[in-house]
């Protein structure tokens, strides 16, 4: 699965020049092989196919450690633990069809509303606040409604 909110926000803001993609997040779930070096191997394979793309591969079976939560049960459970609701969306190709995984729906993304996911609201709110400060999304997309408490 991979995600990309900036393209949607560019359309909402009627930007003719698209925001450069800073990374293409590719996630998967394999609790048997959790070594980070495997993710790096997959990144290298993707770079061979598409060398100019900023690939970032993460096994959601090990990402719970970064968030200080219980182990995730699936890739979609990992998505549910992303920091912001509009970035907690994944898309995968399955049998020639695109499938969307959006534990909190897609309304926030399409409406330009940024809020923390329930996990970050309850457990890591300060990390969410720091991300909003560092990302400075409101400067690129001023119509966004970034909710901070």
Q: What is the mean pLDDT of residues 65-87?
A: 94
What CA–CA distance (Å, rounded) separates 2 from 77?
Answer: 14
For the whole model, what pTM was predicted? 0.89
User: How far, in Å, CA of 108 to CA of 85, rounded?
Assistant: 7
Whether the pLDDT of residue 49 is over 80: the answer is: yes
Share of the chain above pLDDT 70, in %: 97
pLDDT at 6: 86
88-138 per-position pLDDT tens digit: 999 999 999 999 999 999 999 999 999 999 999 999 999 999 999 999 999
Q: How confident is the model at residue 1 (pLDDT cuts 50, 70, 90)?
A: very low
On whether the CB atoms of residues 84 and 125 are closer than 8 A, the answer is: no
Q: Report the pLDDT value the prediction gives residue 82, as an integer from 0 to 100.
A: 95
Q: 5: which residues sit within 8 A by CB, 6+ positions away?
A: 86, 87, 89, 109
pLDDT number for residue 2: 44
| Closest listed residue to residue 121, CA positions, set 132, 109, 112 | 132
pLDDT of 20 reads 87
Residue 140 above 80 pLDDT? yes
């Amino acid at each position: 699965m991979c995600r990309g909110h900036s393209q949607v926000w560019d359309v909402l803001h009627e930007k003719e020049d698209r925001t450069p993609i800073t990374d293409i997040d590719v996630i998967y779930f394999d609790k048997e092989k959790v070594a980070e070096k495997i993710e790096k191997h997959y990144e290298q394979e993707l770079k061979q196919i598409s060398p100019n793309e900023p690939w970032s591969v993460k096994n959601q079976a090990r990402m719970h450690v970064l968030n200080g939560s219980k182990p995730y049960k699936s890739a979609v459970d990992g998505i549910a633990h992303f920091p912001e609701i509009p970035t907690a969306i994944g898309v995968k190709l399955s049998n020639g069809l695109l499938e969307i995984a959006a534990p909190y729906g897609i309304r926030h993304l399409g409406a330009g509303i940024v809020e923390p996911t329930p996990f970050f609201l309850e457990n890591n709110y300060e990390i969410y606040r720091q991300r909003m400060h560092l990302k400075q999304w409101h400067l690129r997309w001023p119509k966004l409604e970034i909710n901070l408490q």
